[in-house]
Amino acid sequence: MARLTVDRDGFVVGVRLVDGTRSRRAEQAQAAVWRFRYDPARDDAGRPIRSEVDQRFMLD
Q: Taking the domains of the chain in order of start, what are their residue ranges? A: 2-55
Q: Over the stretch 5-60, which tens digit does the pLDDT of each residue have?
A: 999 999 999 999 887 677 888 888 888 889 989 999 999 999 999 999 998 877 66
Name, in order, each residue with C-beta under 8 angstroms of 20's C-beta and a sequence gap of 6 or more: 1, 26
Distance in angstroms (rounded) separating the CA atoms of residues 22 and 37: 24
Distance, CA of 37 to chain centre:
9
Strand pairing class (12-17; 48-49): unpaired
What is the identity of the amino acid at 16?
Answer: R
pTM: 0.82
Cross-strand partners of 53: 4
Q: Over the stretch 11-26, which tens digit does the pLDDT of each residue have?
A: 999 999 887 677 888 8
